[in-house]
């Protein structure tokens, strides 16, 4: 019989465990406090689709890095931007919501606020308000606040049950407004407008602004009205303007929204007037460009603008954040071009001033003339492929739009010259590949054949003497052995392959030479193979150039298209891998190989340049392997061992340290890949 003390302890443990389980019944063990976006992601997507009739990808946003004390003082960072909190916003195509929301301290109310954020931004996107957001900071914030109130009115009209939730969100915003005494005159004027809007009953925007067009005005009309309002007193007064203190359920306006306007042509006010003389200079190196970030919007030349040499002609600060405006006729354009070419990256800028200087990349006109026929030859239909968004752990359906076209013809003399240079190497590789050609293989113990199998006959004689059942398989036959391999080569033809290496050649030149040598050698081997190149700019403009299809024979046409390849644009890798995977999946071969030849990691002018691109490429490689296709990457990037194991696995890549050795090494690597067990 157990002791009384044991019974009491056991009962206490049982009661404690039961109470704890009851307390945590709505939260899994180890979960972070607050509402996690990943936990409600699917429900929010369905809700937006059901309520608004459209859907936008929901992505998590993280808090901005908190500035240190010195940076906050020197850059005049407002108090509301010093708090480490994530915000809701949109880029015109996606809705970004806080990864974890903990405002009220109550999961039910926090979930209600997160849902309201998603619906409010969805209404803004559905109405097109995001596309018409002004660029001038005061007008932008006035427009964002008024459109937020109008979005609330639309939600209450369509979903009356949200009225109480909107009232709670307004109360939260009102209780967290900054003190008016700590704001500049312009900030104080905008803040008073926001407070007036937050206190208004639904559908009463016209009462707050007598000159307001109408509550049903189109966003374009509201944008024009706010731009005019921003030029009146007190909004045009003196003093610093640091932006709008956040209203959580409205989201935050982003300065980069000005790039989402429907017309993507260069603004007319930046066009060169005929009266100004043309001043241009060539850049010896190509400088990559990027979109400006929030820090770039401040046009002041602050203490962080430390030049390379003479400050008069500095083009950017060490962090790559700022390029000064055109300096006028007294600017030494040669010096500016020389210093600008030192940069690896520069931000795009737009100003209201006229363009007075042009810096043109060396060889840009030649590349443009080559690009036109490249896109005009046998342009195929657009093919949409998904992309993997690792942040939401979901596919973006039909996000990458790819087009396949025949590669342009190049100079035949280039191919003949390279074949002549490598004739000894080609002869040696062909000899080694011929040794791998399918030979006749002997099959023993056959029912019929070319000769008697003596081993089988002796075994059969012993079986008969032992009184057991004899066999009829007493022959041997010689039959041809079949080498069943299909391989697709994918060549990186992005702008980074245009870089020069030793010997006065570019990376792409060596890639083309290696491909030419390999094609000559493969003709001796007899494997089915295809050759494609790829490049692109953005998710809607990915190109795959067809150099040789599986059904096409090798000849002058293939050699000419290899010679015609040139480097341009970026390396959006996931779509081309998925496209060639689809082509290889149609080949009925025992072994199928996708061989990627690249010079660096995935990149593009958007978020693909980073973890997003690496994770999408990794997912595309996994999809290929699930279909029985081996994938191997040969890169000349010496930093490749940092990111390639993540994309292709520890045995799915190799790094070539000396790119000059690419032509002889590529056939040898191919031989090793296709002669092992498979």
Q: What is the per-residue pLDDT across 71-86, written as a single tens digit (0 to 9) for each?
A: 666 666 777 766 767 8
Residue with tokens 């093919």: 383
Give the pair of three-digit tokens for residue 29: 């063990």
Q: Which two tokens mark 478?
A: 């010689």
With 50 as the cut, is the pLDDT of residue 317 above it? no
With tokens 């000349």, the residue in question is 636
User: How far is the CA of 420 from the CAs of 406, 415, 506, 666, in angstroms?
Assistant: 26, 9, 19, 18
Mean pLDDT of 618-625: 93
At 531, the pLDDT band (50, 70, 90 cuts) reads: very high
The DSSP line for 295-360 is GGG-----TT---SS-GGG----TTS---PPP--TTS-HHHHHHHHTT-SEEE----SSPP--EEE
State how far the Cα of 479 lies from the Cα of 460, in Å rounded to an integer.
Answer: 24
Per-residue model confidence (pLDDT) at position 548: 93
* DSSP per-residue letters across 163-188: HHHHHHHHHHHHHTPPPGGGS-HHHH
Helix (H, G, I), strand (E, B) or coil at 400: strand
* pLDDT on residue 345: 53
Q: What's the whole-number mean pLDDT along residues 480-503?
A: 79
Contacts (Cβ under 8 Å, ≥6 apart) of 71:
77
* Exposure b/e, 465-486, CB count within 10 A at least 16 = b: eeeeeeeebbbbbeeeeebebb
The yes-or-no verdict on residue 48 having pLDDT over 80 is yes
Tell me: pLDDT of 469 over 70: yes
C-alpha separations of 375 from 282, 285, 362, 405, 543 in Å: 26, 25, 22, 7, 9
Which pLDDT belongs to residue 622?
92
118 pLDDT tier (thresholds 50, 70, 90):
very high
Task: Give the pLDDT score at 378.
Answer: 44
Q: Is the pLDDT reported for residue 577 higher than 90? A: yes
Residue 23 or 610, more confident: 610
Q: Residues 351, 293, 181, CA angle at the centre, nearest 5°?
A: 85
- Provide mean pLDDT across the span 267-286: 43
Phi, psi of 383 (to 5 degrees): -120, 125
Q: Which of residues 491 and 218 earns the better pLDDT score?
A: 491
If pLDDT is split at 50, 70 and 90, which confidence band does 328 have? very low
How far is 602 from 612, CA to CA, in rounded Å?
9
Q: Is pLDDT larger for residue 15 or for residue 330?
A: 15
> How high is the pLDDT of residue 580?
95
**In this predicted structure, what is the pLDDT of residue 576?**
95
Place of tokens 């607050």: 34
> Has residue 237 got a pLDDT over 90?
no
Task: Check residue 221 and give its pLDDT.
Answer: 86
Measured CA to CA, the distance from residue 410 to residue 133 in angstroms comes to 47
Q: In the numeric block, which tokens belong to residue 73? A: 């003082």
Strand order in the sheet with 629-635: 382-389, 394-406, 542-548, 528-536, 485-492, 591-598, 629-635, 653-655
Separation of alpha carbons 302 and 417, rounded Å: 55
Sheet holding 475-480, edge to edge: 440-446, 475-480, 451-452
Which of 73-87, 452-466, 529-543, 614-628 is the least confident region?
A: 73-87
Sign of torsion over alpha carbons 283, 287, 290, 292: negative
Higher pLDDT, 376 or 84: 84
Q: Output the CA torsion 312→316→322→323 (10° steps).
A: 60
Q: Compute φ and ψ for 540, nearest 5 degrees.
A: -100, 5
pLDDT digits (tens, 9 = 90+) for 179-195: 888 888 888 889 998 89
Q: What is the DSSP string of 587-647?
A: ---SEEEEEEEESS--B-SSTTSSHHHHHHHHHHHHHHHHTTEEEEEEE--TTHHHHHHHH
Nearest-angstrom CA–CA distance, 154 and 593: 55
* SS3 state of residue 209: coil
Comparing 399-413, 560-574, 578-592, 631-645, the range with the smallest average pLDDT is 631-645
pTM: 0.47
Exposure string over 243-279, b if 16+ CB within 10 A, otherwise e: bbbbbbbbbbbbbbbbebeeeeeeeeeeeeeeeeeee
d(CA 443, CA 449): 9
Are 671 and 632 a contacting pair, CB within 8 Å? no
Cα separations in angstroms, 554 against 531, 547, 558, 562: 11, 10, 6, 11
Q: Beta 35-36 vs 58-61: how paired, if at all? A: unpaired
Per-residue pLDDT at 509: 84
**Residue carrying structure tokens 């029985």:** 628
User: What pLDDT, on a 0 to 100 scale, did the predictor assign at position 59?
Assistant: 85
CA gyration radius for the chain?
33
164 versus 316: which is more confidently predicted? Answer: 164
Mean of the per-residue pLDDT values of the chain: 76
Query: Which of 154, 34, 163, 193 minimizes the C-alpha distance to 102?
Result: 34
- Name, of 112-126, 298-312, 361-375, 523-537, the range with top average pLDDT: 112-126
Confidence (pLDDT) at 340: 58
- Domain boundaries of the chain, sorted by first residue: 1-31, 35-260, 275-362, 411-435+483-675, 440-480
Q: Read off the pLDDT of residues 337-360 as tens digits, 9 standing for 90 and up.
A: 655 555 555 555 544 444 445 554
438 or 46, which is more confident: 46
CATH number corresponding to 411-435+483-675: 3.40.50.410
Place 503 in a pLDDT band, splitting at 50, 70 and 90: low
User: Is residue 294 pLDDT above 90, yes or no?
Assistant: no
Confidence tier at 15 by pLDDT (50, 70, 90): confident
pLDDT beyond 80 at 476: yes
Nearest to 147 by CA among 86, 216, 85, 201: 216
Q: What is the mean pLDDT of residues 565-577?
A: 89
List the Cα angle 295/150/172 in 5-degree steps.
70
Q: Smallest Cα–Cα separation from 176: which of 249, 246, 72, 107?
A: 246
The pLDDT confidence band at residue 130, using thresholds 50, 70 and 90, is confident
Residue 422 pLDDT greater than 70, yes or no: yes
Cα–Cα dist 212/225, whole Å: 7
The per-residue pLDDT for 322 is: 37
Distance CA(397)–CA(582), nearest Å, equals: 17
């Amino acid at each position: 019989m157990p002791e009384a003390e044991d019974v009491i302890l056991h009962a206490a443990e049982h009661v404690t465990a039961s109470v704890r389980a009851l307390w945590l019944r709505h939260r899994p063990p180890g979960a972070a406090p607050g509402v996690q976006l990943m936990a409600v992601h699917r429900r929010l997507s369905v809700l937006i689709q059901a309520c608004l009739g459209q859907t936008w990808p929901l992505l998590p946003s993280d808090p901005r890095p908190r500035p240190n004390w010195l940076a906050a003082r020197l850059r005049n960072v407002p108090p509301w931007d010093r708090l480490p909190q994530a915000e809701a916003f949109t880029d015109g195509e996606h809705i970004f919501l806080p990864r974890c929301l903990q405002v009220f301290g109550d999961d039910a109310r926090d979930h209600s606020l997160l849902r309201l954020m998603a619906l409010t931004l969805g209404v803004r996107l559905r109405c097109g308000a995001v596309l018409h957001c002004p660029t001038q900071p005061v007008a932008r914030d006035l427009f964002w606040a008024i459109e937020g109130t109008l979005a609330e009115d639309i939600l209450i009209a369509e979903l009356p049950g949200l009225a109480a939730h909107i009232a709670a969100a307004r109360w939260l915003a009102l209780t967290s407004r900054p003190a008016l005494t700590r704001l500049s005159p312009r900030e104080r004027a905008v803040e008073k407008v926001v407070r007036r809007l937050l206190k208004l009953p639904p559908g009463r925007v016209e009462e707050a602004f007598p000159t307001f067009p109408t509550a049903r005005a189109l966003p374009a009309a509201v944008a024009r009205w706010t731009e005019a309002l921003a030029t009146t007193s007190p909004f045009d007064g003196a003093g610093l303007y640091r932006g709008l203190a956040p209203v959580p359920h409205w989201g935050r306006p982003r300065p980069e929204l000005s790039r989402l306007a429907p017309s993507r042509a260069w603004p007319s006010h930046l066009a060169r007037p005929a009266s100004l003389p043309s001043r241009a200079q060539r850049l010896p190196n190509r400088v990559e460009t990027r979109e400006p970030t929030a820090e770039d919007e401040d046009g002041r030349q602050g203490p962080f603008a430390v030049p390379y040499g003479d400050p008069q002609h500095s083009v950017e600060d060490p962090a790559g954040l700022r390029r000064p405006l055109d300096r006028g006729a007294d600017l030494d354009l040669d010096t500016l071009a020389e210093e600008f070419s030192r940069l690896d990256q520069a931000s795009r800028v737009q100003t209201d001033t006229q363009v007075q200087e042009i810096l043109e990349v060396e060889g840009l006109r030649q590349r443009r003339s080559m690009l036109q026929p490249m896109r005009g030859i046998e342009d195929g239909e657009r093919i949409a492929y998904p992309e993997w968004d690792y942040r939401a752990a979901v596919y973006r359906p039909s996000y990458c739009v790819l087009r396949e076209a025949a590669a342009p013809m190049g100079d035949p003399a280039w191919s003949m010259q390279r074949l002549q240079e490598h004739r000894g190497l080609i002869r040696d590789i062909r000899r080694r590949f011929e040794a791998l050609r399918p030979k006749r293989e002997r099959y023993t113990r056959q029912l019929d054949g070319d000769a008697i199998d003596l081993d089988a006959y002796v075994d059969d004689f012993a079986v008969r003497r032992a009184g057991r059942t004899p066999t009829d398989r007493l022959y041997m036959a010689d039959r041809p052995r079949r080498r069943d391999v299909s391989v697709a080569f994918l060549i990186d033809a992005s702008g980074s392959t245009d870089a020069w290496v030793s010997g006065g050649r570019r990376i792409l030149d060596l890639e083309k030479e290696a491909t030419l040598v390999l094609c000559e050698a493969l003709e001796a081997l007899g494997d089915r193979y295809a050759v494609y190149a790829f490049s692109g700019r953005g998710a809607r403009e990915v190109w795959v150039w067809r150099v040789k299809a599986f059904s096409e024979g090798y000849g002058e046409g293939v050699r000419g298209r290899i010679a015609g390849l040139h480097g341009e644009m970026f390396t959006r890798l996931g779509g081309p891998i998925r496209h060639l995977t689809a082509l290889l999946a149609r080949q009925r071969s025992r072994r199928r190989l996708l061989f990627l030849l690249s010079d660096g990691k995935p990149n593009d002018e958007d978020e693909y340049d980073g973890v997003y691109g690496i994770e999408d490429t990794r997912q595309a490689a996994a999809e290929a392997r699930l279909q029985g296709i081996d994938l191997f990457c040969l890169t000349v990037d010496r930093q490749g061992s940092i990111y390639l194991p993540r994309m292709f696995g520890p045995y799915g890549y190799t790094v070539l340290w000396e790119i000059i050795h690419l032509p002889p090494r590529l056939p040898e690597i191919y031989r090793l890949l296709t002669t092992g067990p498979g």
